[in-house]
Structures are given as C-alpha cells and as structure tokens.
C-alpha cells in the first residue's frame, strides 16, 4: 500500500476511535489477562502498552491476571503433584503456597515492570491486600452419587474493596491484581481468574469487563465468529454442544457481571496483537460481546 494511503487508513482509524475515547473518559474497565497472551513476549509488551495508552487517554484500566502455565512449571520444579477432581485442580496447602508465590510474585511483578517500561504506573496487588477480594470456600462439582466433591482451598469472591482500587485509579495508577482471596479469619483461597475479574468488575461498577482468551471468541456451527450473544442464544448454543469446556465458565462470568451492574462484557482473542484496543476503539470489535 502506498505510504499516503497508509496514512489515510491510520487517520480513519483515529477518527473512528474518537467517539469511544470521549465516551469512556473516566470509565473503569476490568481486563482479565491470561492465556497465550501471557506466554508471548511481544504480546505481553503489547498488552502493557495498550493498558498504558488507555490510562493516558483518561480510562481507568484494572488488570486481573491468571498464570496457570507458570504455576504448573513451578509445581513441577518443586515436585509437587497435582490432583484433579472432575477436571478441576484440587488446591491443597502446598499448591496454594505456589499459587500465591507465582501469581503475586513472578507474574504480577512482570506485568507491573512492563507497564513501567511502556511509560505507565502500575501497582501489583493480591486479593489479600486490604481485603481486596474477600472470599469463601467455593462449591465443588457434584459427583456421581449426587454429593458435592471437595476441591480444597478454592474460593469464590464475596466482596471487593472498591475504595482501595478507586484510590489507586484516582491517583493515576493501574491496579494489577492476582486472583488470590482471603477471608476475615485470615484464610487464603485460590480463585479462578475469570471469576475474580467478573467479581472485581461488579464490585467497581465497571463500564466494561473484557476477558482475553485463546480463541477468536464464541464460534457458530460453521466455525464463524459470533459477534454478539444474549442469554437465550447462549443457552441455545449450550444445548447444541457448541459451547463447551472453558468457554462455559467465561460466558457464565460475563452474564453474572452484567446481571450485577457491569455495563458491558466481551470475550476477545488475546493472540491478536492489540486486540484490547481493537475491541474498545472499533465498531466491529475483536471478539464476542455478551448481552442480557
């Protein structure tokens, strides 16, 4: 493409983004960062630049991150075995110690460092800091005998310390939250990152919840992206077996967030460079929008 045509395309993209920039001034956007985007150096750097840009444009991004592959590597290094219950990792005290170490330490600080290199100011937090994410024991899956199965120290959020996050956001900082919760007795709980992000979005009354994943979004029977879904269509896709595996809890998190005060929710492809910006600043977006 000739250089003048490239400049014209860039200008059109900027013009297209302007209404969204104006509409989201001061808005809180909760972003779950995980999947393949956390395994690629260019994607990690790109994500840090994207959230820094959002902050400089007047948005208030809040990052909740996962870290499954890093946890698995550390468990292997320490020769700590893993046990699964109906496909869910059982979290014993040794596993939880590794989860806290990897998420709050290695991964959280790496994101903070990359944001700093991009020109932003981020603060790494655990859900245990200032009772940021108060949690309780999560219900396990139901076994063949109809009884609930024990999955160990896996938690579900009860409340979010909005004052802490608002204070950081008002000060120009980007909170980077590891999904480890605590209860008022001092106990620690391992929380699914999607679940934690949805709870944070609800607790902050966020304008948007955006989940980065390893697929294009929700796909139809022909493998084409479904740009927008509501609850009725989600139920239909589940009956048809087109929504399975890890996509089910992601959609459940989006619906729960919407039902409890978050204004919008999306599942986007974290493998696409700058997918976060494409989702926010373009009309088509970069994934599947979930509606009620």
* Residue 1, pLDDT score: 45
pLDDT given for residue 10 in this prediction: 60
Instruction: For residues 127 and 167, give the distance between their C-alpha atoms in angstroms, rounded to a whole number.
Output: 16
Q: 191 is written with which tokens?
A: 């929380």
Helix 93-100 vs helix 68-77: angle between axes, to the nearest 10 degrees? 120
Q: How far is CA 51 from CA 57, 152, 265, in A?
A: 10, 34, 17
Q: Which fold has domain 19-219+228-290?
A: Carbamate kinase (3.40.1160)
Q: Per-block average pLDDT, block size 10, for the chain (292 residues)?
A: 52 76 92 88 96 96 93 93 80 95 94 98 97 96 88 96 97 97 95 96 97 92 92 91 88 95 94 93 89 90
Q: What is the pLDDT of residue 272?
A: 93
State the pLDDT at residue 125. Answer: 97
């Amino acid at each position: 493409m000739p250089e003048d045509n490239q400049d014209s395309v860039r200008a059109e993209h900027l013009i297209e983004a302007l209404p969204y920039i104006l509409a989201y001034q001061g808005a809180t956007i909760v972003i779950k960062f995980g999947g393949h985007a956390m395994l690629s150096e260019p994607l990690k750097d790109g994500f840090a630049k994207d959230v820094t840009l959002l902050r400089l444009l007047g948005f208030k991004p809040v990052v909740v991150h996962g870290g499954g592959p890093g946890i698995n590597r550390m468990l292997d290094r320490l020769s700590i075995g893993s046990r699964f219950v109906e496909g869910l990792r059982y979290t014993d005290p040794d596993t939880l110690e590794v989860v806290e170490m990897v998420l709050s330490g290695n991964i959280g600080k790496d994101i903070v460092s990359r944001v700093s290199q991009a020109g932003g100011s981020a603060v790494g937090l655990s859900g245990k800091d200032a009772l940021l994410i108060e949690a309780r024991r999560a219900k396990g899956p139901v076994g063949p005998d109809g009884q609930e199965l024990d999955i160990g120290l896996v938690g579900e959020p009860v409340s979010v310390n909005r004052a802490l996050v608002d204070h950081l956001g008002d000060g120009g900082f980007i909170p980077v939250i590891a999904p480890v919760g605590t209860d008022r007795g001092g106990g620690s709980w391992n929380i699914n990152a999607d679940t934690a992000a949805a709870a944070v979005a609800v607790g902050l009354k966020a304008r948007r919840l955006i989940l980065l994943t390893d697929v294009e979004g929700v796909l139809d029977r022909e493998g084409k992206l479904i740009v927008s879904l509501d609850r009725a269509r989600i139920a239909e896709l589940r009956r048809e077996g087109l929504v399975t595996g890890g996509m089910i809890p992601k959609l459940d998190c989006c619906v729960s967030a919407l039902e409890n005060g978050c204004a919008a929710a999306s599942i986007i492809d974290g493998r696409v460079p700058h997918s976060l910006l494409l989702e926010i600043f373009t009309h088509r977006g970069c994934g599947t929008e979930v509606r009620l």
